């Protein structure tokens, strides 16, 4: 019974192994959905490609770096302006996109000369920018362009620049998760340890797996400043390229998004002996627990409790106001991977919201283990869900609001169900104490907004029915 074959999947019975319905009295370890596996032919996946995982999620966040995409213009456009990760330097990373704009002739005759020319042009047009990441894409990887050799030549011509190459074409893995892994490992192999950071505190951390979506990083930085903790590197929210080269000098790696950046934390532990500490930063209870963990590590528990008390006094009354009005709301979460288990318990405990369905685009087995352990019975858990499955699940669980990305969001709006942008937020930040109040506010506004209900009402009356009959 726990593994579910939906009606829409009757012609693709393999999908049954990817959908789980949690029920009481079962050992959930025996019924984990298959994940991090190739998409089954015949199903329309919502996944992103491996290149997208490297560029859009991690590398493209850096605020002082040219992101040179060696491939067709579409690869550059598709990974630009689709996430909101602002910076404190005027949002440089959001203003510009770079591409070698490969055409058919370049594929036939090779694109290395075009890449080299494009890299020099980019540095010439932006003389204040001295850092660059170069990405391969499917076509340039297939023809074998050697981007490392090109980068070496450009750095030889320009001694004041530094270039990182990320060879992760879209076909490199089953989802964008592969891109996370490639960039993590490549960075620690080639760049960590090449810059010595200035140490200004006796407490130092790397904050890993936070991308300043809606200003998350900048909000959390206020907490670290109040605690007297120096963040050597944010991986990679609101971060400088060279900050990430000095990650080897931190005393502690604090990991938020374990799926996209746990790899580099593990490597830093193996190579430099830096311990790893995982926290959740969405929700009041989880954020307070995370602050306590970090402060216990450094022996500054009193500072941590003072900060928590200050934030609770400021924001808890507002959260309680929303909780009273959101209690019993049914919520579906259809996002990438870790946010399923970051959010499910926090919205249930802090807001009284019931999570009724979850779908992951690139989660691994450990992500499903965590979210199923934290979730309630009667909840559906889906790997690599497709459009028809979403519609059928909506009919089964009838959510009041859906946290997802714009692609699925546009679909559910046609069903007159409100959605919150779970990838880039509606009005973030969502992390931390203030951020979770923002999340509650956006959920309240979505659920209680009358516009979608009004839009679902056909006010045309009998005139419309007569017109339809005549048209038929």
Q: Which residues pair with 21 in a beta bridge?
A: 380
Task: Report the C-alpha gap between 253 and 228 in whole angstroms.
Answer: 16
Residue 44 has a pLDDT of 85
In angstroms, the Cα distances linking 116 to 136, 142, 148, 266 are 13, 18, 11, 34
- Confidence band, pLDDT 50/70/90 cuts, at residue 467: very low
> Span 1-43+327-424: which CATH code?
3.40.50.1980
- Exposed, middle or buried: residue 346 (CB in 10 Å: 0-12, 13-18, 19+)? buried
| 1-43+327-424 and 204-306 have identical folds | yes
Pick the CATH number of 50-173 from 3.40.50.1980, 3.60.15.10, 3.40.50.720, 3.30.470.10: 3.40.50.1980
Q: What is the mean pLDDT of residues 431-453?
A: 95
Percent of the chain with pLDDT over 90: 85
Helix (H, G, I), strand (E, B) or coil at 245: helix
Q: Which residues pair with 402 in a beta bridge?
A: 332, 419
Dihedral of the alpha carbons of 347, 352, 357, 360, in degrees to the nearest 10 = 0
Q: Where are the domains of the chain?
A: 1-43+327-424, 50-173, 204-306
pTM passes above 0.75: yes
- Confidence band, pLDDT 50/70/90 cuts, at residue 354: very high
- Over 70: is that where the pLDDT of 466 sits? no
Instruction: Give the β-pairing of 354-360 and 330-335.
Output: parallel
Task: Report the C-alpha gap between 5 and 9 in whole angstroms.
Answer: 6
Q: What is the mean pLDDT of residues 334-347?
A: 91
> What are 7's two structure tokens?
């009606």
338 vs 126 pLDDT, higher one: 126
Cis peptide preceding 414, ω within 30 of 0: no
- Over 60: is that where the pLDDT of 463 sits? no
Query: By C-alpha distance, which of 248, 238, 171, 166 is closest to 206?
Result: 248
Q: What is the mean pLDDT of residues 215-235?
A: 98
Q: What is the mean pLDDT of residues 364-390?
A: 93
Q: What is the mean pLDDT of residues 162-177?
A: 96
> What are 408's two structure tokens?
């699925």
Task: Report the C-alpha gap between 61 and 369 in whole angstroms.
Answer: 29
- Confidence band, pLDDT 50/70/90 cuts, at residue 1: low
Task: Report the C-alpha gap between 27 and 18 in whole angstroms.
Answer: 17
- Over 90: is that where the pLDDT of 384 sits? yes
In angstroms, the Cα distances linking 367 to 14, 64, 258, 266 are 21, 32, 9, 17
Residue 337 has a pLDDT of 84
CATH superfamily for 204-306 is: Nitrogenase molybdenum iron protein domain (3.40.50.1980)
């Amino acid at each position: 019974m726990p593994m579910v074959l939906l009606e829409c999947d009757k012609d693709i019975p393999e999908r049954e192994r990817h959908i789980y319905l949690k029920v009481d009295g079962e050992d959930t370890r025996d019924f984990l959905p298959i994940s991090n596996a190739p998409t089954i032919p015949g199903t329309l996946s919502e996944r992103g490609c491996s290149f997208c995982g490297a560029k859009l999620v991690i590398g493209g966040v850096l605020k002082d770096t040219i992101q040179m995409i060696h491939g067709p213009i579409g690869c550059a456009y598709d990974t630009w302006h689709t996430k909101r990760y602002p910076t404190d330097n005027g949002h440089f990373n959001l203003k510009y996109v770079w591409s070698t704009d490969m055409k058919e002739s370049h594929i036939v005759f090779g694109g290395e000369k075009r890449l080299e020319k494009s890299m020099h042009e980019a540095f010439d047009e932006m003389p204040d920018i001295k850092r660059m990441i170069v990405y391969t894409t499917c076509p340039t990887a297939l023809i074998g362009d050697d981007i490392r050799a090109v980068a070496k030549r450009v750095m030889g011509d320009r001694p004041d620049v530094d270039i990182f190459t990320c060879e992760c074409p879209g076909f490199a893995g089953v989802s964008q998760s592969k891109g996370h892994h490639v960039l993590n490992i490549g960075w620690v192999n080639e760049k960590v340890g090449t810059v010595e950071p200035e140490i200004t505190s006796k407490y130092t951390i790397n904050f890993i797996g936070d991308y300043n979506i809606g200003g998350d990083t900048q909000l959390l930085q206020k907490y670290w400043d109040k605690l007297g903790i120096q963040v050597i590197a944010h991986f990679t929210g609101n971060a400088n390229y060279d900050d990430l080269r000095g990650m080897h000098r931190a005393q502690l790696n604090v990991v938020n998004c374990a799926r996209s950046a746990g790899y580099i934390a593990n490597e830093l532990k193996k190579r430099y002996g830096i311990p790893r500490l995982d926290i959740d930063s969405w929700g009041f209870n989880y954020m307070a627990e995370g602050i306590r963990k970090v402060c216990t590590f450094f022996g500054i528990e009193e500072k941590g409790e003072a900060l928590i008390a200050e934030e609770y006094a400021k924001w808890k009354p507002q959260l309680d106001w929303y909780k009273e009005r959101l209690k019993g709301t049914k919520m579906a979460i259809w996002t990438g991977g870790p946010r399923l288990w970051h959010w499910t318990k926090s919205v249930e405990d802090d807001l009284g919201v019931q999570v009724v369905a979850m779908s992951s685009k690139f989660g691994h087995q450990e992500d499903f283990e965590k979210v199923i352990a934290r979730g309630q019975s009667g909840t559906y858990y889906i790997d690599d869900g497709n459009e028809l499955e979403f519609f059928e699940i909506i009919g089964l669980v009838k959510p009041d609001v859906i946290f997802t990305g714009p692609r699925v969001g546009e679909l559910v709006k046609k069903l007159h169900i409100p959605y919150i942008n779970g990838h880039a937020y509606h009005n973030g930040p969502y992390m931390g104490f203030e951020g979770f109040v923002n999340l509650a506010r956006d959920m309240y506004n979505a659920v209680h907004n009358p516009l979608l209900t009004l839009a679902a009402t056909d006010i045309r009356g009998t005139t419309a029915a007569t017109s339809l009959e005549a048209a038929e």
